Amino acid sequence: MRELEFRAISFIRENATENTVVSISGGKDSLVALDLSIRAGLDRAVFCDTTIEFRETVEYIKFLKDFYGIKIDIVRAPKDFFEIVQKVGFPSRRRRWCCDVFKFAPLAKYALENNIDAFITGLRKDESVFRSSYITIDRNPLVPVRQLNPILEWSERDVWNYIKKYALPINPLYKYFKRLGCWCCPFKTKEEWEKIKRYFPELYNKLKKELLRYAEKLGIKDQEKFVDKFGWTSWASPIDKFYAVFSNPCDKGKPLRHLVFMDEQAGMAVAELLPILCDMFEIHENGKIICIPINIPGKKLNILIEKAINCIGCGACSATCKSGALSIKDGHLKLNRDKCTHCLSCLNTNLLKGACIVRNYAPKRATIFIST
């Protein structure tokens, strides 16, 4: 244990700066990473409240702040989880979009606004097959800073031994669960769901109510299977697309293309983001028609248009913008033209699937009809 501690603390001291922050989750692993970081000389942490955290976890984070006497910032997505799911659909094992919205985007925004250069995490390789490929200095494509993982090679036994050795205070939820996280995560086991139903009935009933509401909206016939038998955890809803924009070449032979919108709101939403691709465009009929140069890359234009007209203000795509040009204001995606570098990362479907949560996951989404 002494050797593990020495290596972890040395690693933190060698790679952290005054702008390095410990990212904590309320679990045992991030607790150990936090304690090691404090011993290494750091005194700042951040907690991402996904809006579906157990109340005990939120209270525990406040306790740690006083226990260690350090600053712990709390960040959140611009909208609540249950507000988003009624538009995008519940996340499932097949469609796991929630981390992009409720974890990575808020942390990315926090890093950009506070000049953070690295997050220290409690990630460990033996937690999952996916994490076995991680390295000690890594990067998350949706979080624009380094990720330092000082206990990456530690086993679960190592973590518990460290906690016992230094009598660290653990989250009281470990009385019920072996692993912590969002209370309605689709990856929970049947045993964990039974514990939530037994010990946290108000949360279980809230989820059931929202699932029934969503099932009714989709017209799901076997609601018992979908809700009570956890069919939603492996659900992938069918997609219903409808045209909200029509794209036509200029009928006067000019090198222009006309974007014709079904309503002004959609047109103005597209006009807000168009400077990412082009500064030269004209708006007519109160936003219902936009004239653009015909040489704008078609694929990128389509992505931009669909992002704009489908936007529900979740903020996920703002994580792809390293210059901080994208933000959510009044529930809508806004572009700061002065900050935009035209890197097109926000239109990159590899960074964020579909470059937009709604565009890629929502059961009902608007699209564009292109006439040649």
pLDDT tens digit string along 333-365?
999 999 999 999 999 998 898 899 999 899 889
Structure tokens at 304: 């931009």
Residues whose CB is less than 8 angstroms from the CB of residue 10 and which lie 6 or more positions away in sequence, other chains included: none
Report how far residue 169's alpha carbon sits from residue 67's, in angstroms, rounded to the nearest whole number.
9
Select from 83, 34, 56 the least CA-distant residue to 183.
56
Domain ranges of the chain: 2-175, 190-234, 240-370
DSSP string, 39-63: HTT--EEEEE--S---HHHHHHHHH
Query: What single-letter amino acid sits at 246?
Result: F
* Contact in structure between 56 and 172 (CB atoms under 8 Å): yes
The arithmetic mean of pLDDT across residues 110-116, rounded, is 93
Q: How confident is the model at residue 372 (pLDDT cuts 50, 70, 90)?
A: low
Phi/psi of residue 20, each to 5°?
A: -100, 135
Report how far residue 366's alpha carbon sits from residue 358's, in angstroms, rounded to the nearest whole number.
9
Structure tokens at 150: 């000082």
DSSP string, 129-170: TGGGG--SEEEETTEEEEEE-TTTT--HHHHHHHHHHTTPPP
Ramachandran assignment for 287, one of left (phi > 0), alpha (psi -120 to 50 degrees), beta (any other)? left
* Contact in structure between 313 and 328 (CB atoms under 8 Å): yes
Query: What single-letter amino acid sits at 80?
Result: D
Report how far residue 210's alpha carbon sits from residue 192's, in angstroms, rounded to the nearest whole number.
19
Please provide the average confidence, as pLDDT, over all residues in the chain: 92
Report helix, strand or coil for 284. Answer: strand
Select from 366, 357, 286 the least CA-distant residue to 315.
357
The arithmetic mean of pLDDT across residues 41-45, rounded, is 95
Select from 89, 92, 91, 57 the least CA-distant residue to 74.
57
Express each pLDDT in 49-100 by its tens digit: 999 999 999 999 999 999 999 999 999 999 999 999 988 999 999 898 999 9
Structure tokens at 187: 């990856």
Q: How confident is the model at residue 118 (pLDDT cuts 50, 70, 90)?
A: very high
Whether the pLDDT of residue 128 is over 80: the answer is no
* Alpha carbon of residue 132 to chain centroid: 22
First-to-final CA distance of the chain: 68
Share of the chain above pLDDT 90, in %: 71
Q: Which residues pair with 140 in a beta bridge?
A: 143
Query: What pLDDT is stored for residue 144 in this prediction?
Result: 87
User: CA 76 → CA 58, 158, 310, 366, distances in Å?
Assistant: 12, 31, 22, 27
Assigned architecture for domain 2-175:
3-Layer(aba) Sandwich (3.40)
* Contact in structure between 32 and 1 (CB atoms under 8 Å): no
Express each pLDDT in 194-214 by its tens digit: 999 999 999 999 999 999 998
